[in-house]
Structures are given as C-alpha cells and as structure tokens.
Amino acid sequence: MVIIREIKEKESKQLANLLNEDHLLRSYLGFLPDLIITATEVQSKIEEWTKSKSAMCFGIMEEDIIRGMISLSHIKLEKGTGQIGYWMGSEHRNKGICSQAFELVIQKAHELGLHTISSTISVENRPSRAIWEKYDAKVIPISSEKLRYEFKIERQQSNRADIAGDRSGE
C-alpha cells in the first residue's frame, strides 16, 4: 500500500540515502556525482523550498520505506490553483507507485479547496505524461520540449464517484 507522508527526520534520512545511492536518480535531478547529501541538508532544502514555493512536500512511502517524493506547490488558495511535481527512485519507476501517490496528492489538493492543478513536463518524459493523461488532463504545448498539463479536480472527483457507483451496480 502506498501512502504519502510529510517529510520529517526519518523521511529525510531515507531520502538522503536514496539520493546518495541511486546514481540514475542523481543524474536525472542534476546532482554532482561525488556530492554526499546528508539528512540535515535534505530537510533544510525541503523546508526552504516549501516556504519559497508555497508548497507541501511528501515522501512517497511503500512498506514504510521512501520510494520517491511528491509535492503540491505554487498553492494559491484565493485562485484555487496549485502544481504537482514528483520523482521516483529508479528501481521504483513504472510500478504504479507514483500514480497512487498522485491520487493521494489530488485528494490533499481537493481538501485544501484547490480546483485546478497543473504541471510542466518534458515532452520526452513519457511515464510522467502518462500519469496526467490517465486523468484526461488538458495538454497545452509550451515549447517543442515542454508541455503543460492541467485539470479540474472537481471533475476528476465526480468521475471517480461515477465509476465507483457503476461498480456497485455490477
């Protein structure tokens, strides 16, 4: 079962280990190859980033082990908007874990009163695009390299309820 959990000391330690050991992830995120990352640095950077981006960061947890990170950022309560971003450890990609975490962050956004969420994604990042496409997100080309995905949460919540309702009648 996948859960998302606010990143505290335990999660910071696990994130630091993941970032220090997963060379593919380090490269993807732009870390220098020989840089050692401490749990204190992870926690500090996350706290700094969440304040500057009006964000919430969560560890993507499976069996109480961190598999990646997901955030709800650029939260604008007055407009009802926010952005979702995420990354997964390379061994945990394409297993549906991030998709489950994505659903949980959508629920958080809905609880906050957000009605529109979005993300800017590289055209080449097919797994990330696939997550948004499962939700029939609107695709807005930004450049030849980037796409913006956007969808209305209320519509998604009601579609999920309709699907659940359809199943109950089977």
Q: What is the pLDDT of residues 7-46, one digit of tens each?
A: 999 999 999 999 999 999 988 888 888 889 999 999 999 9
Q: Judge whether 16 and 41 are in contact, CB under 8 Å.
A: yes
pLDDT tier for residue 169 given thresholds of 50, 70 and 90? very low
Rounded to the nearest 5 percent, the helix, strand and coil shares of the chain are 45, 30, 25
pLDDT band at 155 (very low <50, low <70, confident <90, very high): low
pLDDT tens-digit profile of 48-98? 999 999 999 999 999 999 999 999 999 999 999 999 999 999 999 999 999
What tokens appear for 140 in the block? 């807005």
First-last CA distance in the chain: 26
Domains and CATH numbers, the chain: 2-164 (3.40.630.30)
State the CB neighbour count (10 A cutoff) for residue 61.
19
Confidence check: pLDDT of 164 > 50: no
Helix axes 153-168, 97-112, angle to 10 degrees: 120
Query: At CA 1, angle to CA 45 and CA 162, rounded to 5?
Result: 105
Nearest to 151 by CA among 163, 136, 129: 136
The owner of tokens 């796409």 is 147
With beta carbons less than 8 A apart as the criterion, state whether 148 and 129 touch: no
166 pLDDT exceeds 50?
no
